[in-house]
Structures are given as structure tokens and as C-alpha cells.
Structure 1
Amino acid sequence: MIKLAAGAESVESFTQWQQSVIERRKAAGLSPNPVHETRMMPKRGPEIINGGSMYWVIKHKICLRQRIIEIERVEIEGAPKFCLIHFDPELVPVHVKVKRPFQGWRYLKSSDAPPDISQAARSLGDTPLHLALALKEAGVW
């Protein structure tokens, strides 16, 4: 799946937002896994849970992916039904790929998904994630 990281100005701001979600969930006694709330229940849920990821678009670029671990249908009396997509807390940098604007989330073909940036490249000199992505985008790595 692919989704715009609405409101995120950078990989760092998105990472900070995710961390705040994790902290709020822990404080509420919930699992530490970040979640995303959406109205639409993915029809391909079982396929997505079995190794699927959400690819996050930040400022018109696919920058990160996050493994989807659960899709939960939520029904509260007197409220519209909605869905919670639960993620693994790990954000995995991917090779930056430009993406045109779109609304909501979309299915992403495996062939269109950018590959992960290798662990070796990510850990090179403990380079901050935003700098590693910028270097990759510039063709330096």
C-alpha cells in the first residue's frame, strides 16, 4: 500500500510524529505499534498482512516503508465504521522515488515498490536518516 504522510515536512518530522503515537499508545496501555485510521477496509487485507508494507510519501517522494502487521475493523455504536491499520514501529528507508499527489491510500504493485536502502548503507558512519536519503537521492550512495 502507499499513502501520503500528510503534514510531514521531512523524514524527521514523520519519525517524530510516529514516536509520539507510540508514546501515547503506551501511556494508554495499548500496544506500542503505531496505527493509521481510515474509513475504508482494504479488500486485500489478508494479502497485505502477509508481508505487506505501507510506503510513505513525504513531499512528493516515496521515502520510507513500514510493515503492516494487522488490519482491524472497528465498530462503535452511534459512530461510522472505520479501520485501524497497525504497523511495525520500524521505519525502513527505501530508494527515493518521485510520486505524484493522490488522496487516501492506494495499493502498490510489487514491481512499483522502491527497494530498501541496505542496512550497510544506512549504518555507514551512523549517518542521520534524512542525510542518507538526500545522499541516495543525489546519487552519491
Structure 2
Amino acid sequence: MSLNLIKLCVGAESIADLEEWIALRLRLAGEQIHTTRMMPKNREAILGGGSLYWVIKGIVSCRQRITDLRARRDEDGISRCDIVLDPVVVAVDPRPRGPFQGWRYLSAADAPPDLATAGSADADLPIELQRELRTIGLV
């Protein structure tokens, strides 16, 4: 079973804001990397299909598949972990999440499900409308 990470998306106002940042990063660097201080110890479980779930403004909002975890040292000799992410952002069923520092493990059982997938009844609805309908319990 895969293991996920969850992290605050500091500075992003929305999923669209995150996607704009990703597009810029891809143009400049060719891949999206999020650098963090600590290397996860459960590397193989994460690389076996795990995702990074982003908390935007106190809500678990979306995820990106993790494609690699790279250890490196910065210019000051401090060890870092580069989390390499698939650039595709997948909206998830929104869930509130309080503040925390760094990243945390998120089991597959505790991870929120993806919002509408192709072929589902509400797949053609805008993401924000899907979120509102879920919030009030209509889907």
C-alpha cells in the first residue's frame, strides 16, 4: 500500500494559484521540485504510488503524485530533500486541516478521495461548485 505526504501550501490562495506557480516552475526548471528539510524514512512506500496532499488556506485541497525523493546538501552544507512532483494537480474532497510545520505522513486510508473523475455524474461541474455541493452534503 502506498503512503502519502501532506504539507501546507504556503502563499497559495487557491488551486489555480498553485497551478500557475507550477507552470512557471516548469518553464524555468523543466520539473517541479518542492524542497523540504527532512527526507521521509518510508521512501519506498511513498514512491510506490504516493502523493503530496496540499493544504491551501486551512483546507486539504489537492494532490500531486510524487515521482522521486532526492537527497542533497544546500550551499551551507545542510541536508535537504527534493520532492519531485508530477505537474498534474488533482482536486480532492476538501477537508479542514489545522496548521503544522513541515510535512506529515498521510495513509491511503486517511487521504481524501479525488473529486469527480471522468465518467462520474458530477465530472462536468466546475471544481468550486463540486466543493460547495460536497460541503452542504448534496454529493
TM-score bin, normalised by smaller chain = 0.7 to 0.9
| Structure 1 equivalent of residue 53 of structure 2 | 55
Question: When the two structures are aligned, how many residues end up with a matched partner?
Answer: 133
1:109-133 CA-to-partner distances (Å, cap 9, x unmatched) read 22211011122357405x3x44443
1:3-28 CA-to-partner distances (Å, cap 9, x unmatched) read 000111111111111111111113xx
* One-letter amino acid of the structure 2 residue matched with residue 48 of structure 1: I
Stretches of structure 2 that go unaligned for 5 or more consecutive residues are none
Q: Greater CA deviation, 43-52 or 17-26?
A: 17-26
**Aligned counterpart for 2:10 among listed residues 3, 6, 28:** 6
Distance 2:18 2:133 in 1: 19
* One-letter amino acid of the structure 2 residue matched with residue 17 of structure 1: W
Give the direction of change, closer, same or farther, for the CA distance of 1:77–1:65 in structure 2 (3 Å limit): closer
Q: Is the 8 A contact 1:12 1:130 kept in 2?
A: no
Distance 2:92 2:134 in 1: 9
**Aligned counterpart for 2:110 among listed residues 95, 109, 112:** 112
* One-letter amino acid of the structure 2 residue matched with residue 66 of structure 1: Q
Distance 2:108 2:49 in 1: 11
Q: Is the 8 A contact 2:71 2:82 kept in 1?
A: yes
Q: Is the 8 A contact 1:93 1:133 kept in 2?
A: no
Distance 1:76 1:102 in 2: 24
The normalised TM-score by structure 2 is 0.84
Stretches of structure 1 that go unaligned for 5 or more consecutive residues are 27-31
| Structure 2 equivalent of residue 42 of structure 1 | 40
**1:61-140 mapped onto 2 (5 Å cutoff):** 61-75=59-73, 78-120=76-118, 123-124=123-124, 127=126, 129-140=127-138
The normalised TM-score by structure 1 is 0.83
The structure whose residues are more often helix, as a share, is: 1
| Structure 2 equivalent of residue 29 of structure 1 | none
Q: Greater CA deviation, 100-109 or 78-87?
A: 78-87
Superposed CA RMSD in Å reads 1.9
